[in-house]
Structures are given as structure tokens and as C-alpha cells.
A and B are shown apart, each in its own frame.
Chain A
Amino acid sequence: EVQLVESGGGLVQPGGSLTLSCSASEINVSNNYMSWVRQAPGKGLEWVSTLYSGGSTYYSESVKGRFTISRHTSKNTVFLQMESLRPEDTAVYFCARALDEVRGVYFDYWGQGSLVTVSS
């Protein structure tokens, strides 16, 4: 059974940094299109970033230049490094898997989410 498990969330002050991890089982993060999607409290879903198997990365305008998506192949883990955090970045961050670009970047597996709260 495919499992994606996020960790690393917590409370951080505005301007601070935090790194989320997404540990995968039964899939290889290097062969899939791994993404982060967030959901602010009481709000809808917002795509954040996607990492292609070939290494290409995509970011939403709201996080470009502040967030970095990466992976560690041997640990089978995807990361989201978040810097210069703002109160509006407060959200549950979901890790999600898409198969490939040919079939399209929609998400068939999701983690349970990790809450990031940006507040002083």
C-alpha cells in the first residue's frame, strides 16, 4: 500500500524557516512527480510546488523564490524547504503523488498533511 508521511510542521515566527519532509513507501519518489499542496484553515486547496522525475521544478507565484522542493533518493523522501515565511503561509501542507506529465499532473496519492503555523 502506497503511503506518504509528512513531518516537520510546527510553529514558526514570521521571517523564519522550516523544512517539511515527505517519506514515501511502496513508490519511488525519483520515478514519480512529487508535489506539495496546501490548505489554509477553513479554505480550499492551493498547489504549491511539483518536482518532476527528471529534476524539473515548478512553483506557485506565491512561494517562488522562498520555497525549494527537493528529494533524497536513498531516503525515498521529498522535502519542502520554506524560507522567509509569512502569516499567509499558515496551512496544512499535503505531499501528493502524480504519475507523469503524459497522463497529467493530478494527484492519486496524498499524505495526511502537516500543519505549519506562522505567527509571532
Chain B
Amino acid sequence: DIQMTQSPSTLSASVGDRVTITCRASHSISRWLAWYQQKPGKAPKLLICDASSLESGVPSRFSGSESGTDFTLTISSLQPDDFATYYCQQYKDYPLTFGGGTKVEIK
């Protein structure tokens, strides 16, 4: 199985901050990685697929990048609506696996 190690598990930040979340795959997954945002009591929302392709309607302050087996989600300027939990997911192989999540909290 491909393990996805996400860090940090919790992140405290202020509005306007630049935020970076990392996901490391245990094996090569090429660019088969998605990022989701989830708010309490709600379903996850797709932000990015193929490591860096922004889903339609997602603000441009969100971006994704890849370097080998390390993947990064960056929020360039954190907005009040961005306080949520973020998950990565690999879809290179079954079983599909998610990272453990990063909760972005208000500092």
C-alpha cells in the first residue's frame, strides 16, 4: 500500500499568512495526487487534482506543487473561509489512500 504522510497535523495561522501543507508518498505516485478541503460537518471539497491542476471555481490563492514524492499545497494569503482541514489523496494505485489531514486553525 502507498502511505501518505501529511504534515503538520495542525497549523495555527492568521488571515493573510502564507500557508504550506506537505504530503509525502511512500512510493512514487507520479502526479496522481489530489487535495481536498473539509469543514466541520461537511463533505470534502476537491481543490486540486494531478498535483497542481486547480479545480474550476477554486480561488487562485490555492496552488499545488510536486517534487519527487513530496507534494505541497500552498495558500498564498489565508482568508477567513480557509480555516478548515485539508487532506491529500493518492490515486496512483489501489487501495486509494488519504493523508492524515492538516487542521488550519486561527492563531
Contact with A along B65-107 (1 / 0, CB 8 A): 0000000000000000000000101010011111111000000
Is the Cβ of B96 less than 8 Å from the Cβ of A105? Answer: yes
A55 close to chain B: CB less than 8 A:
no
Is the Cβ of A107 less than 8 Å from the Cβ of B44? Answer: yes
* Interface residue tally on B, bucketed by range: 20 to 34
Query: In the complex, what residue of chain A is closest to B94 when comparing beta carbons?
Result: A58
B11 close to chain A: CB less than 8 A:
no
A26 close to chain B: CB less than 8 A:
no
Q: Please name all residues of chain B whose beta carbon is closer than 8 Å to the beta carbon of A103 when the two chains form the complex.
A: 49
CA of A102 to CA of B55, assembled, Å: 17
* Interface residue tally on A, bucketed by range: 20 to 34
Q: Please name all residues of chain B whose beta carbon is closer than 8 Å to the beta carbon of A107 when the two chains form the complex.
A: 34, 36, 44, 46, 89
CA of A94 to CA of B55, assembled, Å: 20
CA of A98 to CA of B43, assembled, Å: 15
CA of A117 to CA of B49, assembled, Å: 32
Contact with B along A109-120 (1 / 0, CB 8 A): 011110000000
